[in-house]
């Protein structure tokens, strides 16, 4: 019997290059730091100890409800066969469907998927998104595998989920994660529909799809936009910016970002456009530092073209350690890469005043305690990077309603605004300029509504977390987790005790 774990990374029947491991961001932290799942449980236990809910309920929320492990062969272009391992974990079904991304990475293992599924439950709760938490992963390197191989793997994995009832609009709804995107979600949708051709809501089986396949405008940038909104809300809170000895707002703040993928890029873009100074960006093969600030669009184009920051305007740091960019002095630090990047060895060297966790689990419990003791404010991952699942929720609603947001009311709103401007003109005898009229009259499109909904969701979640932290005298991670535990536990208790020992 094979042991579950990292040893099962796409084991070949014969040697096959598409699964060769490539360099990626990694931590050089100490081996005695707990694994990601244990980090989550430590944070959970700290918050649960402050909760008033029954012990049985709290114990139930500490572990995953269902776990699926699948293994299947895939034939690649060379004629070789590769045995691929995939996972799907469902942490909680207090609300259905479950929700969580699917990542493609050679580092995928059972513990990582369980930790991410657990985190998703409480992300959804803190944002008032009515889903349970889930997560999936396939042990494959998407950077070296061909498109044809990725499609075969994705469709085989989806078939396995269909066969075991681990996917469906009312059961479990995947989304993109590290190593996957809209293309893979379209393959999942198409495969699911082959098995469920009579289900009129089948498009809602997965989110993060291309717009032409039932996706929603604004989904690509959603997580990065949520990171920006969360940081904005914290820096606009008087008690926080005064405690950090900062001026209010984002304008003029120096920002360092580790990770320049989808989340890191969009977070940098929104922060830069709103007045922040991006002075450092790190990736697996080096970092670029410029104390005068960098244009994010120019940097991203350079990165896309060259695959490195070397040669861009600034000081290039070779990747002896991908975490060294975290130690660059700044006002705001955004780890947007992998888990456990901030650990007890490098935490004392981190001088950022505000740490915004755009990645999942970037800080270990010991490091978190050190950062808090040093006077930093940490916006936890379960609060700051919920933008993706919020907009996935909007996409799911769109698929179930079978109509895009704004289609039914855009012209009606424009008509009402136009009538109001006409009335103002008649009463004031002053014409309204064409420019002002165009800006005032324009009704909301789908992206406008998505952005507005995400802003409202993030603002409410941040305000609740800050208020709870101040009321109880606890850090913001514990406050966010406590709020989420209360919501999930209450939902579990009021649903009744049928088939339960609680």
Q: Are the CB atoms for 156 and 191 separated by under 8 Å? A: no
Q: What is the DSSP string of 464-496?
A: HHHHHHHHHT--HHHHHHHHHHHHHHHHHHHT-
Residue 269 has pLDDT above 80, yes or no: yes
Q: What is the DSSP string of 190-226?
A: HHHHHH-TT-TTGGGG--S--GGGT--TTSTTHHHHH
Spatial distance between the Cα atoms of 212 and 60, rounded to a whole number of angstroms: 40
Within this chain, do residues 206 and 227 fall inside the same structural domain, yes or no?
Answer: no
Spatial distance between the Cα atoms of 117 and 135, rounded to a whole number of angstroms: 5
Spatial distance between the Cα atoms of 250 and 231, rounded to a whole number of angstroms: 8
Within this chain, do residues 229 and 179 fall inside the same structural domain, yes or no?
Answer: no
Spatial distance between the Cα atoms of 399 and 175, rounded to a whole number of angstroms: 14
Within this chain, do residues 84 and 103 fall inside the same structural domain, yes or no?
Answer: yes
Residue 466 lies in a domain: no
Residue 283 lies in a domain: yes
Other beta carbons within 10 angstroms of residue 238's beta carbon come to 8
Whether residue 135 lies in the annotated active site = yes
Which range among 109-118, 379-388, 488-497 shows the weakest confidence by mean pLDDT?
488-497
Residue 401 lies in a domain: no
Which pairing describes strands 81-90 and 132-138: parallel, antiparallel, or unpaired? antiparallel
pLDDT of residue 20: 36
Within this chain, do residues 106 and 255 fall inside the same structural domain, yes or no?
Answer: no
Under the banding of pLDDT at 50, 70 and 90, the label for residue 497 is: low
Domain end marker among 363, 384, 405: 384
Residue 474 lies in a domain: no
**Where residue 141 sits, what CATH number does that domain have?**
3.40.50.10860
Within this chain, do residues 230 and 176 fall inside the same structural domain, yes or no?
Answer: no
The pTM of this model reads 0.89
List the structure tokens of 97: 């469907």
User: What pLDDT, in 10s, does the model give residues 121-135?
Assistant: 999 999 999 999 999
Residue 479 lies in a domain: no
Residue 493 has pLDDT above 80, yes or no: no
Within this chain, do residues 192 and 228 fall inside the same structural domain, yes or no?
Answer: no
Residues in Cβ contact with 43 at an 8 Å cutoff, skipping those fewer than 6 apart: 365, 368, 477, 478, 481
- Can you give the residue range of the structural domain that contains 140? 6-32+64-213
List the structure tokens of 457: 């969701």
Within this chain, do residues 280 and 147 fall inside the same structural domain, yes or no?
Answer: no
Spatial distance between the Cα atoms of 351 and 332, rounded to a whole number of angstroms: 9
Give backbone dihedrals phi and psi of 173, rounded to 5 degrees, phi first. -120, 105
Residue 467 lies in a domain: no
Within this chain, do residues 208 and 240 fall inside the same structural domain, yes or no?
Answer: no
3-state class percentages of the chain: helix first, strand second, coil last, to nearest 5: 45, 15, 40
Q: Are the CB atoms for 107 and 74 separated by under 8 Å? A: no
User: What pLDDT, in 10s, does the model give residues 47-93?
Assistant: 999 999 988 889 999 999 999 999 999 988 888 899 999 999 999 98
Query: What total number of domains does the chain contain?
Result: 2
Residue 25 has pLDDT above 70, yes or no: no
Within this chain, do residues 11 and 101 fall inside the same structural domain, yes or no?
Answer: yes
Helices (H) and strands (E) in the chain, counts: 16, 12
Supply the DSSP symbol for 144. T
pLDDT of residue 349: 95
Within this chain, do residues 204 and 284 fall inside the same structural domain, yes or no?
Answer: no
Of 41, 99, 123, 135, the catalytic one is: 135
Other beta carbons within 10 angstroms of residue 374's beta carbon come to 13
**Where residue 246 sits, what CATH number does that domain have?**
3.40.50.720
Within this chain, do residues 233 and 378 fall inside the same structural domain, yes or no?
Answer: yes
Domain end marker among 180, 213, 246: 213
Residue 25 lies in a domain: yes
Under the banding of pLDDT at 50, 70 and 90, the label for residue 12 is: very low
Within this chain, do residues 274 and 208 fall inside the same structural domain, yes or no?
Answer: no
User: What pLDDT, in 10s, does the model give residues 327-375?
Assistant: 999 999 999 998 899 999 999 999 999 999 999 999 999 999 999 999 9
Residue 403 lies in a domain: no
Domain end marker among 362, 384, 406: 384
Q: Are the CB atoms for 380 and 40 separated by under 8 Å? A: no
More confident residue, 3 or 87: 87
């Amino acid at each position: 019997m094979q042991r579950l774990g990292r040893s099962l990374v796409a084991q070949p029947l014969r040697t096959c290059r598409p699964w060769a491991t490539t360099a990626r961001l990694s931590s050089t932290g100490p081996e005695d730091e707990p694994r990601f799942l244990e980090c989550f449980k430590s944070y959970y236990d700290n918050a649960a100890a402050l909760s008033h809910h029954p012990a049985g309920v709290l114990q139930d929320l500490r572990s995953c409800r269902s776990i699926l492990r699948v293994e299947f062969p895939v034939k690649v272009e060379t004629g070789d066969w590769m045995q691929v391992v995939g996972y799907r974990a469902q942490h909680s079904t207090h609300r259905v469907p479950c929700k969580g991304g699917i990542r493609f990475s050679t580092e995928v293992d059972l513990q990582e998927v369980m930790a991410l599924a657990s985190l998703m439950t409480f992300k959804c709760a803190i944002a008032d998104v009515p889903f349970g938490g889930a997560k999936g992963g396939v042990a494959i390197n998407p950077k070296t595998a061909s498109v044809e191989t990725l499609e075969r793997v994705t469709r085989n994995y989806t078939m396995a989920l269909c066969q075991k009832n681990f996917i469906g609009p009312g059961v479990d709804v995947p989304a993109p994660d590290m190593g996957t995107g809209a293309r893979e979600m379209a393959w999942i949708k198409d495969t699911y529909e082959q098995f469920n051709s009579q289900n009129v809501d089948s498009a809602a089986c997965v989110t993060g799809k291309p717009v032409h396949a039932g996706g929603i405008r604004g989904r690509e940038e959603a997580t990065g936009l949520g990171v920006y909104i969360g940081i904005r809300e914290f820096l606009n809170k008087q008690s926080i910016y005064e405690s950090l000895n900062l001026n209010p707002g984002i304008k003029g703040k120096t920002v360092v970002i580790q990770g320049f993928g989808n989340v890191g890029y969009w977070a940098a873009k929104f922060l830069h456009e709103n007045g922040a100074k991006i002075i450092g960006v790190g990736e697996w093969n080096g970092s670029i530092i410029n104390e005068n600030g960098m244009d994010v669009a120019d940097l991203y184009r350079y990165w896309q073209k060259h695959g490195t920051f070397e040669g861009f305007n600034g000081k290039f740091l070779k990747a002896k350690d991908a975490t060294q960019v975290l130690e660059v002095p700044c006002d705001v630090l955004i780890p947007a890469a992998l888990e456990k990047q901030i650990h007890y060895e490098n935490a004392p060297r981190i001088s950022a005043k505000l740490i915004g966790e755009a990645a999942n689990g970037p800080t270990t419990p010991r490091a978190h305690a050190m950062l808090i003791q040093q006077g930093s404010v940490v916006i936890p991952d379960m609060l700051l990077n919920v933008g993706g699942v919020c907009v996935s929720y909007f996409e799911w609603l769109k698929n179930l309603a079978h109509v895009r947001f704004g289609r039914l009311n855009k012209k009606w709103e424009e008509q009402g605004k136009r009538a109001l401007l006409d009335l103002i003109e008649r009463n004031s005898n002053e014409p309204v300029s064409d420019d002002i009229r165009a800006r005032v009259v324009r009704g909301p499109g789908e992206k406008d509504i998505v952005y507005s909904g995400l802003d409202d969701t993030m603002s409410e979640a941040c305000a609740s977390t800050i208020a709870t932290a101040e009321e109880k005298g606890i850090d913001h991670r514990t406050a966010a987790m406590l709020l989420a535990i209360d919501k999930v536990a209450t939902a579990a208790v009021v649903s009744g005790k049928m088939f339960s020992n609680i």
